[in-house]
Structure 1
């Protein structure tokens, strides 16, 4: 069983009289990619800044591989790699010089490791150019390289695909998945790109007004089976089908000439069986999966994500 790599226990942050984070509890296992999303002002960046030690906790604790950032910060922090908001880079130095400079802060980072990381993020051709000449996407890649240089157990990425083109986004996404699976790294990602979060992550947590309002597993079929979903029923005879569906106490809507019913995933086989028994000719039954964006807007009341 995977070890818990990052754990937040009753984490609180108060600024003045305002409670920004209200007793946050969450944990991320080794080898897991966790999406952390929320509306503007929800406390997402504040939480990330507390995890990496850029902001003090008002209460609770954060543990990295069981080490407390409150009582054992040095040992806890050496297992974290992070990009918070924007990568901190020196524009007058080359990409290679930036990585060499950063490598000196950690023991055991060899030139071979730097070369390996440069290849992983696809910067071989420009690594000897000054960072001031880099595009935003190149700077983002160099930031990821910097964050993983010392092989951290926990990687925190705030907007890791910012400024990247679609091909670059896909490369970073694939690399993050590989990093989690092959190197057993726990990755926590925040992003505006909800479709990317859905593709990249194993679990997703939504924070609003300083509280975790929902967590769900992206690939958990048993969880999905218990949720209501809309299903398009494509049949030869809509009128006859509608009668049968209403006899089953199902609400029927019409969209683009096809019938749409709301039911649980586990109930689909029984509904299909009933329609067949009644002589209905079925061309297809297609569940309409709610996207992460749909769920986010429903849970947060349509607040803008940030």
Structure 2
């Protein structure tokens, strides 16, 4: 199950020189320990490990994917896979580690969303991979953790969303984008947002039964915000907007963790409630324009 937590992957432009501050682990694989963890348990010894994943095709603040994983190493880390078994399995709870390595080292593994979405990345492409291990649990610790309880809620949310998509007969036309499901209603044009771009966003927010709880459909109600600046819009909306172009309209379904969470919103959206938004990227402005 994916929940936002602790593994970060950033794709750099191709580069053949070794990065500063890294130690060579094997040919073309470099490692830098950014922060020490508690040292109480290795990933490979844990019943369940919590990881976070952010991915981009180039070194920037805009990510193609922002994902989290709770994984069982015994199932997800094969003994014959060098990177997962030798490098990831030996990391300890709380560690933050950066690798610089060829894409082929992680291709097809559970941390490789590019393969899942059939995005073409050359095996020889050099990537920067930052892994921060949030927790490495025993079995008892895991099933009593807030992490696990949030996954139970996420499963409930997914079942509700999938039921609606099936009822509307559109399940095959939506895609997962790391925080929910979305489909394009109207294509946009131009570039996707970069960090710092000024965005004008319209939306209609509704519950899964179709009841509308909020609308922004004109210049007086649109949201005006800087893309990439925290706490301006809910997480699922910001992530979806990162895929959009000027004028584009998208329909998104968000689990509660990426919407209004366990607290809800001002007596309007109850706690732990999945929601649907229709988003309209009205305009995208850059300082250079």
Higher helix share: 1
TM-score (norm 2): 0.25
Larger Rg: 1
Choose between structure 1 and 2 for higher RCO, CA contacts under 8 A separated by at least 6 residues.
Answer: 1
